[in-house]
A and B are shown apart, each in its own frame.
Chain A
Amino acid sequence: MSGWRAGLIAVVLGGVVLAIGWVLARDGADGPTTTTVTNGENADVTLSCPLALQLACDGLASNLGTGRSTYRGGVAPSGTVVVTFAADLPPERDAQVFARTPIAIAVWGERASVLIDACGTVTVACVVAEAGTSWDSLGGPASWGTFLLGLADPNEGRSDLEAWRLVAAAGPAADLGDWVRLRAADDGQLLADLVLFPSRADAVIATEAAIASQLENARNRAGRLTLFYPDPSPYVEVAAYGEGRAAANVAARLLEPELQNLLGSVGLRPPTGDATNLLRDLGTPGVEMPALAADEIQALIDSWTRLVGG
């Protein structure tokens, strides 16, 4: 019996579909979809997170004994703890910030070494300046083609806006859009697409949490992603709220020391202070940049539209 057939029969006999938490995020869909079941202590509660926070969601749900699902916006049903970027939640939500994540640059392993030689250190200014440059002129093999960037649409979320903020500040050339071959609706999708289509971008700029969520997948499918940290760097806050009493109780637990100590191992950082038990591939972020002023946001959106497109 072939492996896949045996697997399918096992699913039938089990009588339940155990989907291990990976669902592509989609804008505009209604409500979260539960993708795991659990027998944990909070089995009636589901942690619902966007794709960008997949690793964090898996780790926290495992520790809390909850189910987990992919958050796609909209109203969550009772029993759901919604975990997402704080700025993307409606203000009326009584959400608690329990973590944060800096913006980082991820570069495919071998190419990172070449880029370091070319730029001295890998910064946003470096990757923006070299976008569109042939790899052989950067010191790499010609077969790598042209140095390409991947970015998420800043219209869709604060984390993507913060990443674009760095690019815009680096003074991109007018033809930048030609070299942003990998574009996605959000940074979770951006990193998932990078793993599926590794040659679509040599470097991406996104939240550290989104990159962390795909590090192992990238290693298994295409190679190692190396992280670099802009300095200074924007940080994006991560918040949670619960629908219903049980979920609210679980959400409150995210601030407990035990879970705060866990954050580093699931790709997040505590709201204050350094992360402990940091995931192996993560490093030291830059100094935190001041928050974006309201009047800066539209200018950034305009510059994205002008340079990269709608």
Chain B
Amino acid sequence: MKPTRHITTAPRGVAAVLIVLLLSACVTAGDDTDTTTGTVPDGCQEVSIATSPEKFTLLTRLAETFNSTGQEFDGQCAAITVNRVSSGVAARMLAEGWPVDGSAGPAPVLWSPAASSWGAVVNQRLAEAGQPAIANDFQRIMVTPLVLGMPRPMAEALGWPEAEIGWSDILSLAEDPEGWGALGRPEWGQFRLGKTNPNFSTSGLSATAAIYYAATGKTSGLTEADLADPQVIEFVRGVEAATVHYGDTTLTFLDNMYRADQAGRGLTYASAVAVEEVSIIAYNRGDPADTGTPGPPPQVPLVAIYPREGTLYSDNPAYILDAPWVNEVARQAATAFRSFVIDDPDNQRAVLEFGFRPGNPSVAIGDPINAANGLNPSKPDTELALPSPAVLSALIESWEANRKTARIIMLLDVSGSMADLAGEGYSKLELAKEAVLSSLDEFKPEDEIGLWVFSTYLNGDDDYLELISPAPLSEIRAELEATVRNLVPEGGTGLYDSTRAAVEAVRAGFDPAKINAVLLLTDGMCDDDPPGCELDPLMDFLGSSERDVVRVFPVAYGQDASIEELTAIATASQARLYQATNPLTIRQVFQQVISNF
């Protein structure tokens, strides 16, 4: 047997700022670690595929089968490898030049983003740079519509499945002071919406466009004038006000919802989440993060609401790139693989088993897209037209101005270990400061931000110190920047009592009209004086409020951060852990964290 080269690159953070649809709005997709799978026998040509995360497992399995048949093209053997790259990240790299250092995996021959709009992004940006288009030849692997995933009892309270439910119903419910009580279910509290940040997520972008459309009553032809209409803005603000928090990936919402469900609190985290139809199936299988290893099915399953006003599809194109690095053998191999995936009905049935609607129209839609999973394969009745690039860009700007505001405390670790050199001659603290300062542009002026630091004994017996109380960024930006620049490292890591104190402070001023949260950055693990490092009391405290939840978004910074402790903190507060194992990625990771606000 010939030796083979096994390719597995470690997860890494990915640049967060991306260019959306022709102009300068920023988009990345969320779960954007780069992981390449596949083996390339010696003497064979590697043919790389870059795919968006949701179909990575599927394409990896199909590539293994394809490769096992010993494919040759023009007498040259070729093997497919699959590289997971979020759509927006790949679009940026294709437009600006794929990294030659291998950090993002090999340059792709076949590219499959979540939606073909990303191909237009790449081509437009190349055109602006005077270069030819490279994303021209595509076929669709699968399609899946954006839906509102809602716990079945809540959907039934709204009249599902008979009633046609839309964004306007969501608005009515969100604005009703009685919340679910208006429908006879006061125990469910206020209506809460899970929706990703359109700067980062294709689902978030589609949902935001759908909300603006719903506000206008249009199904196409959204204009910049529509975006400025006061009634439209009022509608959008009303829906956004119901948002739990934003974020870079729908997996955060689904995972948190699943955890709450498994704890018997499935109706308390969110009332609805804007996700792709395929995600409903994954959730109801007990695998909300689509890991391939499901847990128990949820006690309360989700059902799909196809918004009455219309929705958009993710059409999952497979582009054979017209790029300089694509030679004839690679082109033939990629074309054959694409044909293998799309034209072979067995493989399209595999697509269906994963919960996508097959891209080959000759393969009928069947299980698991069925009523038992809360889905309706004959929906949606109305499809919305993707706004023009200029309008889409303006839409994102409008959303930035009208999204729910945040009230957060940044709780930064300034322990002695933050003085350690992290690379390129900078200490960890210096890199963290730079990340904080650059992230300020991601907030809007009305967002209230406070700054706390922690190590040990910073303020008498307290391990934490409030440097700036939460206040609108527009009022404190200069002070905040100066304070961050002057931070110095010293002492230990009084993690738990500092976290608890920061959450108590946010709770004390809890504002239901805002996203109330703590952003915790630390490079170590708790070393409070006993019994300060007992995790259970902190968990109980963080989980003690089901209604006015203050979420703690921890950033595990560097190699020594305690992933276990921080995951527990994130889970207990219904948030998500972010990792910057390589300190040089902290700026990008920080921007992903900020996407939640």
A272 at the interface (CB under 8 A from B): no
Take A23-B339, A178-B220 as given contacts and tell me if A8 and B62 are in contact as well, using a CB distance cutoff of 8 Å: yes
Q: Are B378 and A223 in contact (CB under 8 A)?
A: yes
Chain B residues, CB < 8 A from A2: 353
Report yes or no: B350 in contact with A4, Cβ–Cβ below 8 A: yes
Q: Does B588 contact A (CB under 8 A)?
A: no
In whole angstroms, what is the CA distance A10 to B139 when docked? 25
Q: Is A145 an interface residue (CB 8 A)?
A: yes
Minimum CB–CB distance from A5 to chain B (whole Å) comes to 8
Distance (whole angstroms) from the CB of A168 to the closest CB of chain B: 22
Give every chain B residue within 8 A of A26 (Cβ-Cβ).
137, 139
Identify A144's interface contact among B69, B353, B381, CB under 8 A. Answer: B381
Tell me which residues across on chain B come within 8 A of A214, comparing CB atoms.
361
Q: Identify the closest chain B residue to A198 (Cβ).
A: B378
A176 to chain B, nearest CB (A): 13
Q: Which residue of B lies closest to A192 (CB)?
A: B361
Cβ–Cβ < 8 Å partners of A33 in chain B: 335, 339
**B residues 270-299 in Cβ contact with A at 8 Å:** none
> Nearest chain-A residue to B381 (Cβ)?
A143
Q: Which residues of B contact A217 (CB under 8 A)?
A: 361-362, 364
* A221 adjacent to B164 (CB under 8 Å): no
Specify which of A17, A192, A197, A214 lies most central, judged by the most chain B CB atoms within 10 Å of its CB.
A17
| Inter-subunit contact B362/A22 (CB<8 Å) | yes
A175 closest partner in B (C-beta): B221
Complex interface: chain B residues within 8 A of A19 (CB): 339-340, 343-344
Nearest Cβ distance between residue A18 and chain B, in whole angstroms?
7
Residues 228-261 of A at the B interface (beta carbon under 8 Å): none
**A151 to chain B: closest CB distance in Å?**
15
How far apart sit A288 and B339, CA to CA, in the bound complex (Å)?
Answer: 39
Q: Residues on B close to A: CB < 8 A?
A: 61-62, 65, 68-69, 137, 139-140, 143, 164, 219-221, 308, 310, 313, 315, 335-336, 339-340, 342-347, 349-350, 353, 357, 359-362, 364-365, 377-378, 380-383, 385
A11 touches B380 (CB 8 A): no
Closest 5 CB pairs of A and B: A7-B346, A4-B350, A220-B364, A19-B343, A195-B361
Contacts of A220 in B (CB 8 A): 364-365
Q: Is B361 in contact with A221, judged by CB distance below 8 angstroms?
A: yes
How many angstroms from the CA of A223 to the CA of B65 in the assembled complex?
34
Measured CA separation A143–B353 after assembly (Å): 29
Q: Are A196 and B378 in contact (CB under 8 A)?
A: no
Task: From known contacts A178-B220, A199-B380, infer whether A10 and B346 are also in contact, taking CB-CB under 8 Å.
Answer: yes
Q: Which residues of B contact A7 (CB under 8 A)?
A: 346-347, 349-350
Q: What are some 18 contacts across the A-B interface (CB < 8 A)?
A: A7-B346, A8-B61, A15-B69, A17-B69, A19-B343, A20-B362, A22-B342, A22-B362, A26-B139, A33-B339, A35-B343, A143-B308, A143-B381, A181-B385, A196-B140, A199-B380, A218-B361, A220-B365
Contact A200 B164 (CB under 8 A): no
Instruction: Give complex CA distance A174, B244 in Å.
Output: 44
Q: What residues of B have a CB within 8 angstroms of the CB of A8 in the complex?
A: 61-62, 65, 346-347, 350
Cα distance, A7 to B335, chains bound together (Å): 21
Q: Is A293 an interface residue (CB 8 A)?
A: no
Cβ-defined contact, A23 with B343, below 8 A: yes
Interface, chain A (partner B; CB < 8 A) = 2-5, 7-12, 15, 17-24, 26, 29, 33, 35, 143-146, 178, 181, 192, 195-200, 214, 216-218, 220-223
Q: Which residues of A contact B362 (CB under 8 A)?
A: 20, 22, 216-217
B339 and A35 form a contact (CB under 8 A): yes
Most chain A beta-carbon neighbours within 10 Å: one of B347, B357, B362, B378: B362
Q: How far is the CB of B319 from chain A (nearest CB, A)?
A: 11
Minimum CB distance partner of B136 in chain A? A28
Minimum distance in angstroms from A51 CB to a CB of chain B: 10
CB proximity of B596 to chain A, nearest CB, Å: 32
Residues of A within 8 Å of B62, CB to CB, are: 8
Residues of A within 8 A of B339 (CB): 17, 19, 23, 33, 35
Since A4-B349, A24-B342 are in contact, a sample of 5 more A-B pairs with Cβ atoms closer than 8 Å, ordered by chain A residue number, is A12-B68, A17-B69, A22-B342, A181-B220, A181-B385
**CB pair B220 A221 closer than 8 Å:** no
Contact A17 to B382, CB < 8 A, known contacts A145-B310, A217-B361: no
- Whole-angstrom distance from the CB of B335 to the nearest CB of chain A? 7
Contact partners of B383 in chain A: CB under 8 A: 181, 197, 199-200
CB distance from A204 to the nearest CB of B (A): 14
Q: Cβ of A11 and Cβ of B345 under 8 Å apart?
A: no
Q: In whole Å, how far is A28's beta carbon from the nearest beta carbon of chain B?
A: 8
Total A-B pairs, Cβ < 8 A: 111
Minimum Cβ distance to chain B for residue A209 (Å): 16
A23 to B338, CA, bound (A): 10
**Smallest beta-carbon distance A49→chain B, Å:** 15
A13 to chain B, nearest CB (A): 10
**Could you say which of B69, B310, B346, B378 has the most chain A C-beta atoms within 10 Å of its C-beta?**
B346
- Check A197 against B361 for contact (C-beta < 8 Å): no
Which of these, B143, B310, B380, contacts A196 with CB under 8 Å?
B143
User: Which residues does chain A contribute within 8 Å of B315, judged by CB atoms?
Assistant: 196
- Contact at A20–B343, with CB atoms within 8 Å? yes
A24 with B139: in contact, given A8-B65, A33-B335 (CB under 8 Å)? yes
Query: Taking the nearest CB of chain B, how far is it from the CB of A24, in angstroms?
Result: 5
Please determine whether A221 and B310 come into contact, CB atoms closer than 8 angstroms.
no
Residue numbers in B under 8 Å from A21 (CB-CB): 343
Chain A residue at smallest Cβ distance from B164: A143
Residues A22 and B137 in contact in the complex (CB < 8 Å), given A2-B353, A8-B347, A197-B143: no
Bound CA–CA A287/B441 (angstroms)? 67
CB nearest neighbor in B for A16:
B69
B59 to chain A minimum Cβ distance, whole angstroms, is 13
Most buried by A among B61, B69, B377: B69
Given the complex, which residues of B lie within 8 Å of A3, measured CB to CB?
349, 353
Q: Are B378 and A145 in contact (CB under 8 A)?
A: no
A134 to chain B, nearest CB (A): 10
Alpha-carbon distance between A29 and B164 when the two chains are bound, in angstroms: 44
| A25 to chain B: closest residue by CB | B139
Complex contacts, A197 vs chain B, CB 8 Å: 143, 313, 383
Are B382 and A20 closer than 8 Å at their CB atoms? no
Nearest residue, chain B, Cβ from A200: B383
Q: Which residues of B contact A29 (CB under 8 A)?
A: 137
Query: In the bound complex, what is the Cα–Cα distance between A181 and B359 (angstroms)?
Result: 19
The residues of A that contact B377 with a CB separation of less than 8 Å are 221
Nearest CB on A from B383, distance (A): 4
Chain A residues within 8 Å of B139, by CB: 23-24, 26
Contact B221 A178 (CB under 8 A): yes
Query: Closest chain B residue to A36 by CB distance?
Result: B343
Residue of B nearest to A145 (CB): B382
Given the interface pairs A22-B343, A35-B339, A217-B362, the reply to whether A4 lies near B380 with Cβ below 8 Å is no
A5–B65 alpha-carbon span in the complex (Å): 10
Which residues of A lie under 8 Å from residue B61 when comparing CB positions?
Answer: 8
Least CB distance from B225 to A in Å reads 16
In the complex, residue of chain A having the shortest beta-carbon distance to the beta carbon of B335: A33
Once bound together, how far apart are the Cα atoms of A227 and B353, in whole Å?
Answer: 33
Determine the chain B residues whose CB is within 8 A of the CB of A146 once the complex forms: 219
- For A4, what are the chain B residues with a Cβ–Cβ distance below 8 Å? 346-347, 349-350, 353
Cross-chain contact of A17 among B143, B310, B335, B344 (Cβ < 8 A): B344
* Complex CA distance for A199 and B137, rounded to whole angstroms: 24
Asked if A199 contacts B381 (CB within 8 A), the reply is yes
CB within 8 A of A12: which of B65, B364, B365?
B65
Q: Which residues of A contact B381 (CB under 8 A)?
A: 143-145, 199
Give complex CA distance A77, B15 in Å: 47
CB neighbours (8 Å) of A192 from chain B are 361
How far is it, in angstroms, between the C-alpha of A177 and the C-alpha of B336 when the chains are bound?
Answer: 36
Residues of A within 8 A of B345 (CB): 20
* Minimum CB–CB distance for B239 against chain A, Å: 20
